[in-house]
Amino acid sequence: MGLDIAKIREQFPVLNQEVHGKPLVYFDNAATTQKPRSVLDALTNYYSKDNSNIHRGAHALADRATRYYEETREAIMHFINARESAEIIFTKGTTEGINLVASTFGRKFIGKGDEIIISALEHHSNIVPWHMLCEEKGAVLKVIPINEAGELIYEEFEKLLTPNTKLVSIVHASNALGSINPVKKIIDSAHAVGAKVLLDGAQSSSHLHIDVQDLDCDFFAFSAHKLYGPTGLGCLYGKREVFESMPPYQGGGEMIKEVTYEKTTYNEIPFKFEAGTPNIADVIAFKSALEFINELGKDAIKAHEDELLAYANELLLPIKGFVPIGTAKEKVSVISFNINAMHPYDVGMMLDANGFAVRTGHHCTQPLMKRLGIEGTVRASFSVYNSKSEIEKLAESVTRIARIKNK
């Protein structure tokens, strides 16, 4: 049985609106997903009933807030199948998770002449922290090339691995093209030379079943806001022994065991990496987002999104002037394209005028766009609340826009 999309849409108040006099079609889910009513209610409930600082006060509200906060950590543990909740650190998002690894693991274990491998598909947040580290340490950044379809070339990755490779940091699914990388093979090969592996799960976490034990990755970073949860919140998974080997990230309250004027001793994981008052309300509300996903079932969500992607390909590919960008065999529900030689921004403006929310530009992947020889793309990315009729409307609009230039 397929999902009842009309019923799912009722849970997302933001979808029920017009823009420029047209019903909103929200196809910018790779940038951020909309939030179901249960997440909005959880935020209001927390501030109306439970607001308190956590892990500190010995009073009823503080106890409740702490319990709810830690329940989300447990829910995330189940969501990605971590061994224990201590392996889950709350961050501001994928970006902060990667920066945390660069600043702690990187500063301690990566030195002059050591090598870090990324791919040609990376988001800036999985490039810039490594540039910063390499500059500081004299380490070397290597890049796995891609083919014309936007697929990472695995054989080239094997050639880049050396005994000096300390870290492989790879996007699990590309935000710009949707390509899914063969991460399991990559992790096994990286481990064979003694390197650790970080997966950027910003896009994969919402579309694919994630099992960090099966993947055997050392780190997995993702963002709550791409999973129907609040913005400015994310998680960094790390294996216990790896987290324990790393120095703390920021210093402050909560991350300490004892402080004297001479010295600080640090708390256990995960608290060692969570200095200061965290984003309590959003963490608590994120549990409702995970429940929303679990109730529908990741497999059912993926099946629906795959169907939308296949339907979009079926309707869009035959349109004269439609140029798909990224045609990997394994993809999440993202379709990047250009129309004739039109600037993606102009196409985006015309689609916006018709009620479509799509992304245009380089998608924080400037080196990838350069590799593909383009300035940017228009990106439509589908989520569980999108419907086939919305894709039909997109195909109609794209046909009209392509005709202007085909005349």
Q: How far is the CB of 129 from ligand PMP (least distance, A)?
A: 11
With CB under 6 A as the contact rule, the residue among 34, 165, 175, 377 that binds ligand PMP is 175
Of the residues 134, 217, 235, 364, only one is catalytic, namely 364
Q: Indicate whether 99 belongs to the interface with ligand PMP (CB under 6 A).
A: no
Give the contact letters, 331-370, x = binds to ligand PMP (CB under 6 A), - = no.
---------------------------------x------
Q: Which of 95/377 has CB closer to ligand PMP?
A: 95
**156 close to 196: Cβ distance less than 8 angstroms:** no
Q: Indicate whether 205 belongs to the interface with ligand PMP (CB under 6 A).
A: no
Q: Taking contact as CB under 6 A, which single stretch among the options 68-76, 196-204, 249-257, 382-390 is the one that binds ligand PMP? A: 196-204
Q: Taking contact as CB under 6 A, which single stretch among the options 76-84, 198-206, 262-270, 326-334 is the one that binds ligand PMP? A: 198-206
Q: Is 320 exposed, middle or buried (0-12, 13-18, 19+ CB in 10 A)?
A: exposed
How many chain residues bind ligand PMP (CB under 6 A)?
A: 13
Give the rounded distance of the alpha carbon of 43 from its chain centre. Answer: 22
With CB under 6 A as the contact rule, the residue among 171, 246, 335, 342 that binds ligand PMP is 171
Q: Return d(Cα 275, Cα 259) in angstroms, integer.
A: 14
Q: Return d(Cα 349, Cα 356) in angstroms, integer.
A: 9
Q: How far is the CB of 194 from ligand PMP (least distance, A)?
A: 26
Q: Footprint of ligand PMP on residues 47-86 (CB under 6 A)?
A: none
Q: How far is the CB of 203 from ligand PMP (least distance, A)?
A: 5
Q: Indicate whether 179 belongs to the interface with ligand PMP (CB under 6 A).
A: no
The residue written with tokens 């039909």 in the block is 392
Is 364 tagged catalytic? Answer: yes
Q: How far is the CB of 334 from ligand PMP (least distance, A)?
A: 10
Q: How far is the CB of 93 from ligand PMP (least distance, A)?
A: 3
Token reading at 268: 């256990």
Largest CA distance in the chain: 76
Q: Return d(Cα 325, Cα 90) in angstroms, integer.
A: 34
Q: Is 214 exposed, middle or buried (0-12, 13-18, 19+ CB in 10 A)?
A: exposed
Q: How far is the CB of 128 from ligand PMP (least distance, A)?
A: 11
Helix (H, G, I), strand (E, B) or coil at 247: coil
With CB under 6 A as the contact rule, the residue among 117, 202, 334, 342 that binds ligand PMP is 202
Q: Return d(Cα 407, Cα 400) in angstroms, integer.
A: 11
Q: Taking contact as CB under 6 A, which single stretch among the options 14-22, 87-95, 181-189, 371-379 is the one that binds ligand PMP? A: 87-95
Q: Return d(Cα 101, Cα 97) in angstroms, integer.
A: 6
Q: Indicate whether 33 belongs to the interface with ligand PMP (CB under 6 A).
A: no
Q: Taking contact as CB under 6 A, which single stretch among the options 90-98, 112-120, 307-315, 321-329 is the one that binds ligand PMP? A: 90-98
Q: Footprint of ligand PMP on residues 220-249 (CB under 6 A)?
A: 223, 234
**257 close to 248: Cβ distance less than 8 angstroms:** no
**301 close to 252: Cβ distance less than 8 angstroms:** no
Which residue, 406, 340, 378, 368, is CA-closest to 151?
Answer: 368
- To which H or E segment does residue 257 belong? strand 256-259
With CB under 6 A as the contact rule, the residue among 33, 34, 94, 338 that binds ligand PMP is 94
Q: How far is the CB of 102 from ligand PMP (least distance, A)?
A: 13
Q: Return d(Cα 243, Cα 219) in angstroms, integer.
A: 9
Q: Is 76 exposed, middle or buried (0-12, 13-18, 19+ CB in 10 A)?
A: buried
Residues in contact with ligand PMP by the rule CB under 6 A: 93-95, 123, 125, 171, 175, 200, 202-203, 223, 234, 364
Task: Give me the active site residues, please.
Answer: 364
